[in-house]
Homo-oligomer: A and B are copies of this chain.
Amino acid sequence: LSGDQRVKDETRLRVIAAAKKLSYTPNATAQSLIRRRSNIVGVVVSDITNPFYPVLVESLDRMFAGSGYRLILFNGHGTDERADALRHLSSRLVDGLVFTSALLDYPFADELAALNAPVVFVNRYIDDPRFDRVVADNVGGGAHAARLLVEQFGHERIAVISGPSTASTARDRERGFRGFLEEIGRALDESLYCSGPFTRDTGVTCCQKLLSREERPSAIFCGNDIIALGAWDAAVSSGVSVPGELSILGFDDIPIASWSAIGLTTVRQPVASMAQAAAEMLIERIEGSAASSGRTNVFPTELILRRTVGLPSRLRVGAS
């Protein structure tokens, strides 16, 4: 039934006829036990409701499907989904794991390394050279964002709403942003700094706080698009014009960012290319053709200029 060439044609036909008569279907669990391969790959996501992840999951799904692998999605906000994923890997229910939203304090690194099993970190990574990683140049993207606000648009009072310091993306974007400001001798005003989880709520709350200050910022750099859209929503719905009174800059370029009524200016991560690289690296590990040490694949980011970043009022012709 498996098409083995050593079986005589006559025998093969008799087996096929018998299988048909008995309505026999091969048991995939039994087959995967023999082959020691499930052709299923686990993807660990911390928050599928952040619109960045469905886009990444769909890209990964497409890339893996092209090579005959299906995805199991491990979704969750705690350590449960990571422990589950690890258990599935150690017991070979999945052939490999893609971590999309790892935290820097990831608690299972040694267990993972001891398994010596196929793993790749995409988007966020952990500071551990034993593992493959696919990332955007978040430091460079943060620096581009600072240059845009300061040099191209002349902003002086700039706020930052950052993601959690435990996420490599938040840390690196902020590092790049601060680095550029320090380089030109204009360190970030810490009274204009706010941070929280990568959620819309963080953007809403931090923006309201920043707007309630006597001296408001003229621009905000946000750790990702969903924070930026929260900030945009808080500003617009309280009558603050964007970008007239407040410029807002995001990171990721999720689909909503491009809606014409919003037009979020942002720093794009090349999601499809990153998903393709992650799938290729993981499949190489599964099929045993990769080197043993961890590899790093960094993708350049791109500034996407839309409507939420403009000149501060003091530089606008006709401004009062």
Q: A residues near B, CB below 8 A?
A: 25-33, 38, 40, 48-49, 51, 53-55, 57-58, 61, 65, 70-76, 80, 84, 87-88, 90-93, 200, 229, 232-234, 236-237, 255-256, 259-262
Task: Beyond A29-B91, A49-B58, list 12 extra A-B contacts (CB 8 Å).
Answer: A26-B91, A28-B88, A40-B72, A40-B93, A53-B54, A57-B73, A57-B75, A61-B73, A61-B76, A65-B76, A229-B259, A233-B261
Say yes or no: A28-B93 contact (C-beta < 8 A), given A237-B260, A256-B256.
Answer: yes
Give the complex CA separation of A106 and B70 in angstroms: 21
Say yes or no: A57-B61 contact (C-beta < 8 A), given A70-B72, A70-B74, A260-B233.
Answer: no
Tell me the interface secondary structure of chain A in the complex: helix
What chain B residues lie within 8 Å of A260 (beta carbons)?
Answer: 233-234, 236-237
* Complex copy number for this chain: 2
Whether the Cβ atoms of B256 and A237 lie closer than 8 Å is no
Instruction: Tell me the smallest distance from the CB of A61 to a CB of chain B, in Å.
Output: 5
What chain B residues lie within 8 Å of A31 (beta carbons)?
Answer: 91
Give the complex CA separation of A210 and B314 in angstroms: 41
Say yes or no: A54-B48 contact (C-beta < 8 A), given A28-B88, A261-B232.
Answer: yes
What chain B residues lie within 8 Å of A28 (beta carbons)?
Answer: 87-88, 91-93
Say yes or no: A80-B54 contact (C-beta < 8 A), given A30-B33, A91-B28, A261-B237.
Answer: no
Task: Out of B27, B49, B200, name the residue touching A55 (CB < 8 Å).
Answer: B49
What chain B residues lie within 8 Å of A233 (beta carbons)?
Answer: 259-262
What chain B residues lie within 8 Å of A236 (beta carbons)?
Answer: 260-261
Residue of B nearest to A73 (CB): B73
Give the complex CA separation of A80 and B260 in angstroms: 34
Instruction: Tell me the smallest distance from the CB of A194 to a CB of chain B, in Å.
Output: 19
What are 16 residue pairs bridging A and B, where the CB atoms are less than 8 Å apart in the complex?
A: A25-B90, A25-B91, A29-B32, A30-B33, A31-B91, A48-B54, A48-B58, A49-B255, A70-B74, A70-B84, A72-B73, A233-B259, A233-B260, A233-B262, A237-B261, A256-B256
Residue of B nearest to A91 (CB): B28
What chain B residues lie within 8 Å of A51 (beta carbons)?
Answer: 49, 51, 54
Instruction: Tell me the smallest distance from the CB of A36 to a CB of chain B, in Å.
Output: 8
What chain B residues lie within 8 Å of A87 (beta carbons)?
Answer: 28
Instruction: Tell me the smallest distance from the CB of A308 to a CB of chain B, in Å.
Output: 12
What chain B residues lie within 8 Å of A57 (beta carbons)?
Answer: 48, 73, 75
Instruction: Tell me the smallest distance from the CB of A66 to a CB of chain B, in Å.
Output: 11
Instruction: Tell me the smallest distance from the CB of A105 to a CB of chain B, in Å.
Output: 23
What chain B residues lie within 8 Å of A80 (beta carbons)?
Answer: 65
What chain B residues lie within 8 Å of A261 (beta carbons)?
Answer: 232-233, 236-237
Say yes or no: A29-B93 contact (C-beta < 8 A), given A84-B70, A236-B261.
Answer: yes
Whether the Cβ atoms of A91 and B54 lie closer than 8 Å is no
Give the complex CA separation of A51 and B254 in angstroms: 12
Whether the Cβ atoms of B38 and A33 lie closer than 8 Å is no
Instruction: Tell me the smallest distance from the CB of A290 to a CB of chain B, in Å.
Output: 24
What chain B residues lie within 8 Å of A255 (beta carbons)?
Answer: 49, 200
